[in-house]
A and B are shown apart, each in its own frame.
Chain A
Amino acid sequence: SSMRLLVLLFATLAPVACTLHRFKTLVEAGNTDCFTVDIKQTSVGVTASYMVISADSSHDIHFDLRGAQSSYQVKERRQRGIHTFDAAQGEMSLCLDNSYSYTADKMIAVSIHINDDIVPLSTVADKTTQAADRIQRQLKLAQNELYDRSNLEKKHRTVVENNFENINFWGIVNSCAMVTAGVVQVVAIRKLLK
């Protein structure tokens, strides 16, 4: 019975699943971070997306995606991107290249979604279970949507928080510059007329 439950556990959590790798990582200036997925299926749909969520809204990252057996190749330098393609069996690698930057550390949110149904739906005959599968699929889509939205919100919030700090800094700099200019003018005029 415990063995059956184990199989059920695998089937319960894994159906309409798809493997999903979602993470945020900091790519330091001058570094390149690479992540690889060893695709076990002969051909499977993959959706890879990335977004730069640093404080500076002008930051972009060099994105290098390579499917196994040269099935798909992307080299671009942008702030965010999404790629859907069919990956062949083998190693698929995704590189975030920040080597062209000297001081800017970049936080990147990456999401790799692989459509490998571990338990194919056709083996399930029960209507209720099929309904449960559909509901689960919809819920997963909702969760993915929430996650993407939260990444975007994080990006905007980081920019605004950065502005909040910058305003104080530049305010002080401006005030000092004005006072210094005023004092220098007076001193110069006095010297002129001495």
Chain B
Amino acid sequence: MIRGLVALSVLAIAATNALYFHIAETERKCFIEEIPDETMVIGNYKVQLHDPNTNGYADYPSIGMHVEVKDPEEKVILSKLYLSEGRFTFTSHTPGEHTICLYSNSSSWFAGAQLRVHLDIQAGEHTQDYVQIAQKDKLNELQLRIRQLLDQVDQIQKEQNYQRYREERFRQTSESTNQRVLWWSIGQTFVLVATGAWQMRHLKGFFEAKKLV
């Protein structure tokens, strides 16, 4: 069952229209996922190495991929070394921007070779294991379908709540900015008047001392 599921996810990379990009060996590529809390994120990836003989990209099982995930407070919540092909998973505990960074673990073995990384990141209800749920709760096809739709609606609701929270923050920042503008205007007017007053007083004393007035 597990093997079937992993095979399916790998098939997902190979059969569907997966996205890929190139990185140098020591280069770090980061992606940002803005997700609400308690959301699971699954990333399927495959790494290939540039073969100068064929001028194409071929599988190289000994390359490892280092995956580092940081939460919105810059705390590292996942830092693991994986094989050249596989999947990584993490669940968010705080809402916000999570940074997913990928870099290979090979260092100057292949003298600055280019790596091709196929990547597919899924978040939310796409990550549920419906096979397991169907077996555990003994659901038939229609019930499983309805369950999946319910999960999708739940996810939308979660995202909308998160959106409300962010717009609240946006409004607070806006209002704080307005406050700041007001205080700085008053403050600078005060500084200007005070500087002028000091100038007048100082120069009056200076001219009187010089017997010019």
A23-B33, A35-B20 are contacts. A175–B170 as well, Cβ < 8 Å?
no
Interface flags, A20-52, vs B, CB<8A=1, else 0: 010111100000011111111100100000000
Picked from B8, B173, B206, the residue with its CB within 8 Å of the CB of A157 is: B173
Q: Is the CB of B160 within 8 A of A146?
A: yes
Interface flags, B171-197, vs A, CB<8A=1, else 0: 001101100110010011001100110
Which of B47-55, B83-91, B103-111, B137-145 lies at the interface with chain A? B137-145
Q: Is the CB of B192 within 8 A of A168?
A: no
Q: Is the CB of B8 within 8 A of A6?
A: yes
Q: Is the CB of A186 within 8 A of B203?
A: yes
A132-B146, A182-B199, A193-B210 are contacts. A153–B163 as well, Cβ < 8 Å?
yes
Q: Is the CB of A38 within 8 A of B18?
A: yes
Q: How many residues belonging to B are interface residues under a CB distance threshold of 8 Å?
A: 64
Main secondary structure of the interface of A (DSSP, over half): helix
Picked from B17, B141, B159, the residue with its CB within 8 Å of the CB of A19 is: B17
A116: CB under 8 A from chain B?
A: yes
Tell me the complex Cα distance, A5–B135, Å: 9
B59: CB under 8 A from chain A?
A: no
A132-B149, A164-B180 are contacts. A157–B18 as well, Cβ < 8 Å?
no
Q: Which chain A residues lie closer than 8 Å to B202 at the CB level?
A: 186
Q: Is the CB of B181 within 8 A of A161?
A: no
Q: Which chain B residues lie closer than 8 Å to A164 at the CB level?
A: 173, 176-177, 180
Tell me the complex Cα distance, A6–B146, Å: 17
A164-B176, A167-B177, A185-B199 are contacts. A36–B21 as well, Cβ < 8 Å?
yes
A13-B148, A178-B195 are contacts. A171–B188 as well, Cβ < 8 Å?
yes
B76: CB under 8 A from chain A?
A: no
Picked from A136, A146, A175, the residue with its CB within 8 Å of the CB of B163 is: A146
A74: CB under 8 A from chain B?
A: no
Q: How many residues belonging to A are interface residues under a CB distance threshold of 8 Å?
A: 64
Interface flags, B1-42, vs A, CB<8A=1, else 0: 100110010000001111111100000011111100000000
Chain B residues near A (Cβ < 8 Å): 1, 4-5, 8, 15-22, 29-34, 120-121, 126, 130-131, 134-135, 141-142, 144-146, 148-149, 152-153, 155-156, 159-160, 163, 166-167, 169-170, 173-174, 176-177, 180-181, 184, 187-188, 191-192, 195-196, 198-199, 202-203, 206-207, 210, 212
Chain A residues near B (Cβ < 8 Å): 2-3, 5-6, 8-10, 12-13, 19, 21, 23-26, 33-41, 44, 107, 112, 114, 116, 118, 128-129, 132, 135-136, 139-140, 142-143, 146, 149-150, 153-154, 156-157, 160-161, 163-164, 167-168, 171, 174-175, 178-179, 181-182, 185-186, 189-190, 193
